[in-house]
Amino acid sequence: MHTSAPRDQDLVDSRLDFAYFTHHPDRVYLDSAATAQRPASVLDAERTFVERDYSAVHRGASEAVGIATEAFEQARESVARFVGAGSDELVWTENATDAINVVALGISDASAGLGDDTLALRPGDEILVTEAEHHANLIPWQRAAARTGATLRWVEVRDDGTWDLDALRAATTTRTRLIAFGHISNVTGMIAPVVDVVEHARSIGALTVLDACQSVPHLPVDFTGLGVDFAAFSGHKMLGPTGIGGLYGRAELLNALPPARTGGSTITTVTMTSAEFLPAPQRFEAGTQPVSQAVALGAAVDYLAGWGMARVHAHETELAGLLTEAVAAVPGVRLVGPPPGAERAAIVSVDVDGVHAHDVGQFLDARGISVRVGHHCAQPLHRRLGLTATTRASAYLYSTPDDVAAFGAALAEVRSFFGADR
């Protein structure tokens, strides 16, 4: 039987801060790994900015521009502090996918002789990923390998979809120059041994790129303390708006990385044949920026910091245990990822014997339970597991044990409803 610290009733009650649950009081929302709901303070922050202080940033010398720019940069400082970075180490991006592409494209350009070549890849160099990666942390590296002549290698997962440090070490060689991996798998809920991976990468002279989409919203994260070279995360998974994310990079590496997109706001000097670029982070922020979204993301991290990420993580650890127990109690349901009792995030993906994941999702939805179905942008992982799709339930700080109980009860009815238990 699952045991845990006493339930954090205040966090359970935090759903009162979210208008979504007021409008949908009977809805069980277990799809936060895809997109999280937003509290009133985040909605209010963006609305107030747009209504009162909306203007261009870093363009012009008017009072309006100054006020908007201050709000924009204060949000950067708040988010940078939240993830353990300096404000010059946080680049605004569209989302985590965009952030990883900025790094991959910049390295490709460096390899082509555009700018500083300290990050260049050469033919025969190796990029290492894992078989569990989200497509956002796989396809950019496929393209970078094709552009540079580098070889893409990967860490194979075990039968439960997880991998370990020994497998990663075995997959590296003397030519490994970059290791890209997810902090938390969006399919299995596995939490990667980041510090150990970074230590190994440094020992062989390889850079590390961390997909932190599923970790920054859910547990205390300090990129500087972890020692990663680059990291990416998305606003909409951490109580913020869509259309904004963050790229962390160590300052010296960001300033050595050629900007993937160029144009206004990124430059110091332009002639008809050349351009010189600003230091990071502005060198990467071409064009009109997502200003109100940045302000809202700043409010989102203030909300999370108000609760304390250790507290959020403890609450979700309890829910993770309850989720895995609920799945394990249902015959004919396969749990992907770490087994009950093992460390994992509050994400469970399941395969129901004899019932397609899409049918499972529709059945749950008809009972008021929102989950995610499909391959979750991780086709190679599903293919390795012999699956075309899974059904995923994911919790957040506003999720409750009652949500998990409802999910478990409905899941137990699926096979009989479709006649798959005969």
Residue from 377, 387, 412, 420 carrying the catalytic annotation: 377
Pairing of the two strands 245-249 and 372-374: unpaired
**Computed from CA positions of residues 65, 66, 68, 73, in that sequence, does the dihedral angle turn out positive or negative?**
positive
Cα(326)–Cα(323) distance, integer angstroms? 5
CB atoms within 10 A of CB 316: 24
Active site residue 213: no
The Cα–Cα gap between 181 and 334 comes to 25
- 8 A C-beta contact, residue 279 and residue 248: no
Provide the Cα torsion 195, 200, 206, 207; round to 10°. Answer: 0
Helix (H) or strand (E) holding 21: helix 19-23
Give the start-end residues of each E strand in 282-409: 333-336, 347-352, 369-370, 372-374, 390-394
Alpha-carbon distance of 90 to 72, in angstroms, equals: 12
Task: Give the total residue count for the chain.
Answer: 422
Distance in angstroms (rounded) separating the CA atoms of residues 373 and 211: 21
Instruction: Identify the residue whose tokens are 């009989």.
Output: 416
Joined together, the tokens standing for residue 399 give 């999720």
Task: Give the CA radius of gyration of the chain.
Answer: 22
Percent composition of the chain: helix, strand, coil (DSSP 3-state, to 5): 45, 15, 40
Catalytically active residues, by annotation: 377
